Amino acid sequence: MENGGGDVPENANDHCPGTQSEAAGKADACAGCPNQQICATAPKGPDPDLLAIIERMNTVKHKILVLSGKGGVGKSTFSAQLSFALAEMDYQVGLLDIDICGPSIPKMLGLEGQDIHQSNLGWSPVYVESNLGVMSIGFMLPNPDDAVIWRGPRKNGLIKQFLKDVDWGEIDYLVVDAPPGTSDEHISIVQYLQVAGIDGAIIVTTPQQVSLIDVKKEINFCKKVGVPVLGVVENMSGLRQAFSDMKFVKPSEAGETDATEWVLNYIKEKAPELLSVVACSEVFDSSKGGAEKMCQDMEVPFLGKVPMDPQLCRAAEEGRSCFTDQKCSASAPALKSIIKKLVKTQ
C-alpha cells in the first residue's frame, strides 16, 4: 500500500496513512482500526533524540527485551535472575525496568529505598554489584505505594530519557524488563532501540492456554516490528518442592490444624530417605503441549521450562540471586540451562 507516513501494519484499514504520519490514528481512515490508539500516541517522524540514544547505546554490546503476553507469569522474576546470572558469569550487566506503572525490579534486586544520582555524564544506575546496575521509575517515587497514572506520551518520554540519559558505561548486556502486553511502551522501546541495534526478545509464559493465547500475539508483534524472538521460556512449568519444605495440615469439620511437625517427625523415624525427595505436581494443564508445542507451530525457538519453585519466589521477594546457594535446587538448574543457551546465541 502506498503511503507517505512509513510502515503500514498488516491488520490496518484501507488507506492507512502509515504509523509515522502525523495523521496516524487521527485520519478518517483510522476509525475502527485495532491500531488506532497506539498509532495516535506513538512518536512520529524523525526524532532528534535518536542520535543521543545511538551514542549512549554504543557502549552496550547486547540489548535484550524481556516480554510477556500477560502479567503475573514471572517475567520480572526471570529478568532479575537473568541479570544476576549474567553478572555472576562476569559480564557487565544493566537492567532497565520500563514497566512504568508496576515497577517491581527494585524489590527483586534488593534495592528498595534507593535513589538515583546524577553526574555530568547523566543518570547513574543503582548498583547491586559493581557489574550489575539497575534503573527504574521505582527509584523516583517518593512513596513506593504511589500510583503512576500517566498517559502514553509521558511514559514514552521517560523511556526515551532512560535510554539517552542513563550512564551505563561499557556493558555487555542491557536487559530491558517491559510491561506485559503490546502497548505504547513496547512500540517506543522497539523504535528507540532498533536504531541502536537490538538483539531480540525473550518471551515468558506459563503453560496454560489463557497465557499462550496472548503470547502468540506477543510473537506476532515482534515479527511485525522486526524484533527477533530469541526464544520463549515456559515458567511455572509444574510445581517442584522438596518434601522437607512442605507444610501439612489435618482437615476436620472444625477446620484445619497444622500437622507439619508430626508428619516430618514420623517420616524421619519411619522413612528418612523421603526427606530428600522432591514432590512434583502439574499446576496448569499442559496436555496440549504448552509453550514448546506453540513454539513449534509458530517457528520460534523454545528455550526451556522453569518449574514453579517456592524457593525461587522467596529469592525474588528477598531481592537476591537464586544461584548463590542450594535453596533453589528445583529452579536454578533450569534457569542456568536457559541462560547458557541464550549466551551461546549472542
Q: Which domain holds residue 261?
A: 241-281
Across 21-29, average pLDDT:
82
Q: How confident is the model at residue 211 (pLDDT cuts 50, 70, 90)?
A: very high
Instruction: Indicate whether 133 and 145 sit together in one domain.
Output: yes
Same-domain check for residues 4 and 120? no
Based on the fold, state whether residues 250 and 233 are members of the same structural domain: no
Angstrom distance (rounded) from CA 29 to CA 26: 8
- Residue from 130, 141, 69, 63 nearest 105 by CA: 141
Q: Within this chain, do residues 21 and 144 fall inside the same structural domain, yes or no?
A: no
Answer for the pair 197, 54: CB distance below 8 angstroms, yes or no.
no
**Residue 228 sits in the same domain as residue 249:** no
Question: What is the average per-residue pLDDT within 2-13?
Answer: 61
Q: Has 70 been labeled as part of a binding site?
A: yes
- Flag whether 69 is marked binding: yes
Backbone angles phi, psi at 58, to 5 degrees: -60, -20
Q: Which residues pair with 241 in a beta bridge?
A: 279
User: Residue 137's pLDDT is what?
Assistant: 95
Same domain, 23 and 78: no
Q: Is 71 annotated as a binding residue?
A: yes
Closest CA to 73 of 283, 254, 246: 283
pLDDT tens readout for residues 241-293: 888 888 999 998 888 999 999 999 999 999 999 888 888 888 887 777 899 99
Residue 122: pLDDT band by 50, 70, 90 thresholds? very high
| Domain shared by 249 and 210, yes or no | no
For the cut 70, the answer to whether the pLDDT of residue 5 exceeds it is no
Phi-psi region of 255 (alpha: psi -120 to 50; beta: other; left: phi over 0): left
- 16 annotated as belonging to a binding site for a ligand: yes
Q: Is 33 assigned to a binding site?
A: yes
Q: Specify whether 291 is located in the same domain as 245.
A: no
If asked whether residues 2 and 141 sit together in one domain, one would say: no
Task: Say if residue 211 is in the same domain as residue 341.
Answer: yes
107 annotated to a ligand binding site: no
Q: 3-state DSSP call for residue 323?
A: coil
Answer yes or no: is 255 a known binding residue: no
Q: How many domains does the chain have?
A: 3
Phi-psi region of 181 (alpha: psi -120 to 50; beta: other; left: phi over 0): left
Q: What are phi and psi of 136, to 5 degrees?
A: -160, 150
Residue 191: which CATH number? Answer: 3.40.50.300
226 and 319 within one domain: yes
Question: CA 228 → CA 75, 83, 104, 129, 306, distances in Å?
Answer: 18, 20, 26, 30, 22
- Both 126 and 4 in one domain: the answer is no
Among 28, 45, 62, where does a domain finish? 45
Give the pLDDT confidence of 154-201 residue by residue, as tens digits. Answer: 999 999 999 999 999 999 999 999 999 988 899 999 999 998 999 999
Q: Do the annotations mark residue 21 as ligand-binding?
A: no
Cell of 187: 512500540
Residue 217 annotated as part of some ligand binding site: no
Q: By C-alpha distance, which of 49, 50, 40, 1 is closest to 20?
A: 40
